[in-house]
Amino acid sequence: MVEEKTEQTKKPIVSANNYGVSAAIWDNINKAGKQYQSISLNASSKQEDGSYKNRTIFFPSDLENMIATLTELKAKADEQKIITGFVEKKK
């Protein structure tokens, strides 16, 4: 009997994309079992062969699309009550 593996793809809780610049917020759990969220930011460029290449290095020409993407991501995060501003820890 062969046991089948089912691989689950982790999906972001919110994401945004503007002209090839993408950002997403992800739920995570650290080694100690504590939950936290992180943000990924990347861009993709169409290659001559029609495929897309992802990159994490940005250029000045990406800046407006980065701002638009992050603004959209923040609005979506706010709708889901995700804290997007600095919160000082109590001492």
The tens digit of pLDDT for each residue in 38-78 reads 999 999 988 999 999 999 999 999 999 999 999 999 999 99
Query: Bigger pLDDT: 39 or 1?
Result: 39
H helices, E strands: number in the chain: 1, 4
Say if residue 9's pLDDT is above 80.
no
> Residue ranges of the domains in the chain?
14-79
User: From CA 33, how far away is CA 22, in angstroms rounded?
Assistant: 28
Enter the pTM of the model. Answer: 0.80
Nearest 5°: the CA angle 57, 58, 64 is 160
3-state helix, strand, coil in the chain (%, to 5): 20, 35, 45
